[in-house]
């Protein structure tokens, strides 16, 4: 074999390896595009600008919550409080607005509530080394009880200025959700892939013993992760409150399984240390797209639950193979 042919073979091999690495890095966007084309063929109105924006709008709270879940799962944990905390935030905001408290105080109290829940989870998990599943499950029940105690049934009036501040209407067009979606995607990606703290999250999830040998304070990282999760979820709860404009003690329940599904579907490993947030963003859009499509073709409610369950199982299995393939190609 001549030198030129060897160089050509090496060049082709390099390009193929890079192409495979790129596909494995952003595979969810390819899947999302294919699914959108299939849905558009079945329902011609699916790919209209208004429908795509509707999908993005309803994806925004889920994306914020999924970012929180993604960070936690990267450390080999789970945060089962996300749905209950969103419900509690809507209840707190609605009740305080019934009492006519100043808007900034209400927002601050909602954020503090999220920080406190995150700190409770993080302290118990990092200090006592109890399984995150057990701790967050227990706190989830506590939050459910508090939300139902404060507001047993949905209700309350939400300030119009709060809604307009979140929705950010421009010539009648709600630009806020799109802006929040993009900001969440960019900040989440930069934090996990470019910031030192984000790399520590990967290090803790990938090999805790090795992280200890490197001098990483595991307890501090875990506490920080859960506090950050609580803060993000409270922000997601504020956005959700602006959407529904009432307080609902059961509103956030679907977000728990949706966020876990999005993270696994995006290729983040339950074993920790492997996963990319951009794929989680695409997975969130995919989940919202499926939900929107099922409503458009008028699928009966109980079939939607079955489909969601199948999607969760599929995402866990699919995510496992994606993680293994990504590790083989040297990705994260």
Please report the pLDDT score of residue 6 as a whole number.
55
Domain boundaries, the chain: 26-328
- What is the CATH architecture of 26-328? Orthogonal Bundle (1.10)
Alpha-carbon distance values, 53 to 225, 292, 296 (Å): 31, 11, 15
CA angle 281, 282, 287 (to 5 degrees): 100
Burial of 295 (0-12, 13-18, 19+ CB in 10 A): exposed
Please report the pLDDT score of residue 263 as a whole number.
95
Please report the pLDDT score of residue 208 as a whole number.
79
Please report the pLDDT score of residue 303 as a whole number.
81
Give the integer Cα–Cα distance in Å for 144 and 153: 12
Give me the tens of pLDDT residue by residue for the chain, a chain 332 residues long.
565 565 566 577 777 777 677 777 788 898 899 999 999 999 988 999 999 999 999 999 999 999 999 999 999 999 999 999 999 999 999 999 999 999 999 999 999 999 999 999 999 999 999 999 999 999 999 999 999 999 999 999 999 999 999 999 988 889 999 999 999 999 999 999 999 999 999 999 988 778 887 888 999 999 999 999 999 999 999 999 999 999 999 999 999 999 999 999 898 988 888 899 999 999 999 999 999 998 888 888 778 788 878 877 877 777 677 767 666 665 66
List the structure tokens of 182. 């993009």
């Amino acid at each position: 074999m001549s030198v030129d042919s060897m160089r050509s073979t090496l060049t082709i091999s390099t390009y193929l390896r890079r192409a495979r690495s790129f596909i494995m890095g952003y595979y969810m966007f390819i899947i999302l595009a294919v699914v959108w084309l299939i849905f558009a063929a079945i329902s011609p109105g699916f790919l209209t600008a208004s429908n795509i924006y509707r999908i993005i709008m309803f994806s925004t709270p889920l994306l914020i919550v999924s970012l929180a879940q993604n960070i936690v799962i990267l450390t080999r944990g789970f945060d089962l409080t996300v749905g209950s905390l969103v419900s509690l935030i809507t209840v707190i905001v609605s009740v305080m607005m019934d009492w006519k408290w100043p808007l900034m105080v209400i927002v601050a109290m909602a954020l503090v509530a999220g920080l406190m829940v995150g700190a409770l989870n993080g302290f118990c998990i990092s200090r006592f080394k109890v399984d995150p599943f057990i701790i967050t499950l227990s706190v989830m029940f506590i939050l459910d009880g508090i939300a139902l105690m404060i507001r047993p049934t949905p209700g309350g009036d939400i300030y119009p200025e709060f809604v307009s501040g979140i929705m950010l209407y421009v010539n009648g067009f709600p630009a806020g959700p799109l802006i929040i979606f993009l900001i969440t995607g960019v900040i989440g990606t930069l934090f996990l892939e470019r910031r030192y703290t984000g790399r520590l999250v990967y290090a803790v999830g990938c090999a805790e013993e090795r992280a200890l040998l490197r001098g990483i304070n595991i307890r501090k990282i875990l506490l920080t992760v859960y506090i950050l999760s609580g803060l993000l979820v409270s922000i997601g709860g504020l956005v959700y409150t602006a959407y529904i404009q009432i307080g609902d003690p059961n509103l956030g329940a679907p977000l728990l399984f949706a966020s876990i599904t999005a993270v696994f579907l995006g290729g983040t490993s339950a074993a920790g240390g492997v996963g990319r947030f951009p794929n989680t963003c695409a997975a969130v859009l995919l989940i919202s797209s499926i939900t929107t499509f099922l409503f458009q073709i008028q699928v009966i409610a109980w079939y939607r639950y079955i489909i969601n369950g199948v999607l969760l199982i599929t995402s866990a299995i699919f995510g496992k193979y994606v993680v293994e393939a990504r590790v083989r190609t040297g990705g994260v």
